[in-house]
Amino acid sequence: MLEKPREWLREKSIAKRILSESNLILEVVDGRIPFETRNSVVENLAKERNKSLIVVLNKADLVPRDFLEKEKSLIEREFPVVIFSAHKKMGIKDLIQEIKELANKKGIVKIGVLGYPNVGKSSVINALKGKKVATTSPKPGMTTGEKLIKLDENIFLIDTPGIITLEYQEDLALKGSWIPDKLQLPVEVALKLLEKIVQERPEAIRETYRIEPNVEDPLRTLEDIGRRLNYKISGGEVDLERAAKKVLWDWIKGFIKAYWI
Ligand SMILES: Nc1nc2c(ncn2[C@@H]2O[C@H](COP(=O)(O)OP(=O)(O)OP(=O)(O)O)[C@@H](O)[C@H]2O)c(=O)[nH]1
Ligand SMILES: [Mg+2]
């Protein structure tokens, strides 16, 4: 089901407003799927308005270092990049240094923290601040309003709700940016995700569910996962919908160790 255009316009207007209020933008992306979670609306607006933007490759704890270095070198052609893990407190010094280099040092510096829902915007702010000042949750859409957080005497961060563009719920769910329980067709989305994971890193399926992924048929893989988890409906058949939601939640929560460019 397509996002309502009116909703999209509202999101775009949030991005525009934050951009005009800020001297610098932190675009937080999910380091597992950086190119899918880079937000073209945010990046294009920043370019149009000549605002400095730093790409924060968050969730670096979920991906190998060589993969991070590769994605960093690709994105660096356009924007400065910092490898970061809010969970492991990795990259904090580098990010503060980048901020200080790029921010207009005269007076107050306001930094807009933007990105898709659930990429870890609020967690990045908490890591920079060194304590929990912004609410976080595995549930996409946690942050609803904007919140100004003081980092030091001159630097302020603005936590924001996730910025989405005109996209299908299904595509947002693959990015971890849509609540699986709110999907109309969770099985279809889980099949798409499994297909991608099996193509990119099949061992992630073995590691998470202890089953052999079926390279030809994601439905067989989903059935085997459901069977392994003992998700049954009356008559003994596999409860595919429940299995699909479980897979999507496991993906959101970082339990499935897959990643791709
Ligand atoms: N593994 C891992 N998980 C992270 C990291 N940063 C955030 N998360 C998790 O990702 C989920 C979303 O984090 P939030 O900080 O709430 O993300 P957000 O972008 O503010 O989300 P919204 O407010 O919903 O747009 C939570 O379950 C976090 O624990 C990280 O560095 N590593
Ligand atoms: Mg948030």
- Give residue 237 CA to ligand 1 midpoint distance, Å: 35
Residues 51 and 20 in one domain: yes
Query: Among 6-15, 122-131, 207-216, whose mean pLDDT is lowest?
Result: 6-15
CATH (domain of 78): 3.40.50.300
Q: 62: Cβ below 6 Å to ligand 1?
A: yes
- Give residue 240 CA to ligand 2 midpoint distance, Å: 30
Q: Would residue 243 count as lying in a domain?
A: yes
Residues 143 and 216 in one domain: no
pLDDT-derived band at 167 (thresholds 50, 70, 90) equals confident
- Give residue 124 CA to ligand 1 midpoint distance, Å: 8
Residues 150 and 68 in one domain: yes
For residue 5, pLDDT over 60 is answered with no
Given 159, 192, 213, which residue is the final one in a domain? 159
Q: Report yes or no: 32 and 85 within 8 Å, Cβ to Cβ.
A: no
pLDDT at 163: 87
In the predicted model, what is the mean pLDDT of the chain?
Answer: 93
Q: Which atom of ligand 1 has the smallest separation from the CA of 62?
A: 1
Q: 202: Cβ below 6 Å to ligand 1?
A: no
Tens-digit pLDDT profile for residues 39-90: 998 999 999 999 999 999 999 999 999 999 999 999 999 999 999 999 999 9
Q: 39: Cβ below 6 Å to ligand 1?
A: no
pLDDT at 101: 86
pLDDT-derived band at 2 (thresholds 50, 70, 90) equals very low
- Token digits for 170? 């299904």
- Give residue 236 CA to ligand 2 midpoint distance, Å: 40
- Give residue 51 CA to ligand 2 midpoint distance, Å: 22
Residues 118 and 245 in one domain: no
Residues 155 and 198 in one domain: no
pLDDT at 107: 77
Given 159, 188, 209, which residue is the final one in a domain? 159
Element (H, E) at 191: helix 186-200
Residues 67 and 11 in one domain: yes
Tens-digit pLDDT profile for residues 101-123: 887 666 789 999 999 999 999 99
What percent of the chain is modeled with pLDDT above 90?
A: 84
Q: Would residue 124 count as lying in a domain?
A: yes
Q: 143: Cβ below 6 Å to ligand 1?
A: yes
Q: Report yes or no: 28 and 121 within 8 Å, Cβ to Cβ.
A: yes
pLDDT at 148: 96
pLDDT at 119: 98
Q: 142: Cβ below 6 Å to ligand 1?
A: yes
For residue 6, pLDDT over 70 is answered with no
**Protein residue with its CA nearest to atom 17 in ligand 1:** 120
Residues 46 and 142 in one domain: yes
Q: Would residue 61 count as lying in a domain?
A: yes
Residues 27 and 131 in one domain: yes
Residues 238 and 125 in one domain: no
pLDDT at 116: 94
pLDDT-derived band at 8 (thresholds 50, 70, 90) equals low
Q: Would residue 170 count as lying in a domain?
A: no
Residues near ion ligand 2 (CB < 5 Å) are: 121-122, 142-143
CATH (domain of 234): 1.10.1580
pLDDT at 10: 65
126 lies in which domain range?
5-159
Residues 245 and 203 in one domain: yes
Q: Would residue 10 count as lying in a domain?
A: yes
Q: Report yes or no: 217 and 210 within 8 Å, Cβ to Cβ.
A: no
- Euclidean distance between CA atoms 173 and 5, whole angstroms: 18
Given 103, 130, 159, which residue is the final one in a domain? 159
Q: Distance of alpha carbon 179 from its chain centroid, rounded?
A: 13
Number of structural domains in the chain = 2
**Protein residue with its CA nearest to atom 13 in ligand 1:** 120
Q: Would residue 57 count as lying in a domain?
A: yes
- Euclidean distance between CA atoms 218 and 115, whole angstroms: 30
Q: 85: Cβ below 6 Å to ligand 1?
A: yes
Residues 35 and 110 in one domain: yes
Q: Report yes or no: 208 and 220 within 8 Å, Cβ to Cβ.
A: no
Q: Report yes or no: 113 and 26 within 8 Å, Cβ to Cβ.
A: yes
Q: 169: Cβ below 6 Å to ligand 1?
A: no
Residues 122 and 51 in one domain: yes
Q: Find all residues with CB under 8 Å of 201, minimum gap 6, and list them.
A: 257, 258, 259, 260
Q: Would residue 137 count as lying in a domain?
A: yes
Give the residue-averaged pLDDT of 160-186: 90
Q: Would residue 219 count as lying in a domain?
A: yes
